[in-house]
């Protein structure tokens, strides 16, 4: 067990550092986890969300991840988050996967509403995609959809709400996510010259199996997605720098993860 933990810790520290320069396969224009869960926040306010009415972040006991969820209990309650995707010069349209877990009690419909905008509170560019659920019989159910961001998109608006309210009803939300289906692997493309380099698969797997399964790793991945494009643009201009990033940083990490993958994939 001690050897296992040392291998895991070493791999995590190395990959965490290198991922500042090297993205995973989900990296693209605006790719990010919006809220790995609602475990992060202060008091009743979840990280990154604005609350309206009696909407709140509450400890409801074990849910789809952790104990904390977003909860609304009446008409007019809503949680809103604006996700910045970049500027209007990004190569669009891009296709994104969106998902979220919904718990519904009572005669009401829980809704995750998503739409693309140019600017926060600026111009809405797309129709609204609705992930919804009715009574879920005491469990969380997942809603999923695929969305295409129109040219000019800079933001995604996400709203958590309910429709058709009746007294005593309740809706909870957890694990809201948003990723490009196929995007631009900014720095990985710069380093390897392609988005499909086989060496990147191991980094993607480590991200999915380790980093995205805890709050700290998820916040790191989200921050990286926001910071990587200018670094990639700088690397792409210099063949020597691309080779250094690839051979000095990426390949050694890939080798370590390949050697230890039976441990961290277990």
pLDDT tens digits, one per residue of 177-220: 887 664 445 566 667 666 556 777 777 777 767 776 666 776 67
Task: Give the C-alpha separation, 83 to 120, whole Å.
Answer: 9
Per-residue confidence (pLDDT) for residue 241, from 0 to 100? 82
Share of the chain above pLDDT 70, in %: 65
150 band by pLDDT with thresholds 50, 70 and 90: confident
CB-CB contact of 27 with 225 (8 Å): yes
172 band by pLDDT with thresholds 50, 70 and 90: very high
- Average pLDDT score over residue span 123-134: 95
Distance of CA 109 to the CA centre of its chain: 24
Residue in 204, 259, 150, 185 with CA at minimum distance from that of residue 31: 185
Higher per-residue pLDDT: 258 or 69? 69
Higher per-residue pLDDT: 50 or 7? 50
Per-residue confidence (pLDDT) for residue 26, from 0 to 100? 31
| Strand, coil or helix: 226 | helix
Angle among Cα 131, 222, 192 to the nearest 5 degrees reads: 110
The residues near 63 (Cβ < 8 Å, ≥ 6 apart) are 37, 69, 101, 103, 140, 172, 174
Tokens at residue 209, please? 């199996």
Task: Give the C-alpha separation, 70 to 147, whole Å.
Answer: 23
Higher per-residue pLDDT: 98 or 231? 98
CB-CB contact of 181 with 96 (8 Å): yes
Higher per-residue pLDDT: 115 or 23? 115
The string of pLDDT tens digits covering residues 21-80 is 333 333 333 345 566 668 878 778 888 899 999 999 998 877 666 788 999 999 899 999
Q: How many CA atoms lie within 13 A of 124 on its CB side?
A: 8
- Average pLDDT score over residue span 135-155: 87
The residues near 55 (Cβ < 8 Å, ≥ 6 apart) are 70, 71, 72, 77, 78, 79, 160
């Amino acid at each position: 067990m001690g050897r296992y933990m040392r291998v895991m810790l070493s791999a995590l520290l190395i990959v965490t550092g290198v991922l500042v320069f090297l993205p995973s396969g989900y990296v693209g224009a605006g790719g990010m986890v919006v809220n790995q869960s609602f475990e992060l926040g202060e008091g009743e306010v979840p990280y990154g969300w604005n609350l309206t009415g009696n909407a709140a972040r509450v400890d409801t006991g074990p849910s789809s991840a952790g104990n904390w969820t977003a909860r609304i209990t009446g008409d007019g309650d809503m949680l809103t988050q604006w996700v910045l995707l970049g500027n209007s010069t990004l190569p669009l349209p891009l296709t994104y996967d969106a998902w979220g877990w919904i718990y519904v009690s009572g005669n009401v419909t829980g809704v995750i509403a998503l739409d693309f905008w140019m600017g926060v509170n600026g111009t809405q560019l797309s129709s609204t995609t609705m992930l919804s659920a009715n009574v879920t019989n005491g469990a969380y159910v997942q809603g999923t959809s695929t969305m295409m961001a129109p040219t000019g998109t800079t933001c995604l608006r996400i709203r958590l709400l309910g429709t058709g309210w009746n007294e005593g009803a309740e809706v909870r939300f957890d694990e809201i996510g948003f990723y490009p289906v196929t995007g631009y692997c900014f720095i990985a493309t710069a380093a390897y010259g392609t988005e499909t380099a086989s060496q990147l698969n191991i980094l993607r797997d480590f991200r999915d199996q380790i980093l995205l399964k805890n709050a700290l790793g998820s916040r790191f991945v989200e921050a990286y997605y926001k910071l990587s494009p200018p670094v990639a643009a700088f690397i792409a201009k210099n063949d020597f720098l691309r080779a250094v990033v690839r051979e000095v940083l990426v390949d050694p990490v890939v080798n370590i993860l390949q050697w230890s993958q039976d441990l961290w994939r277990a």
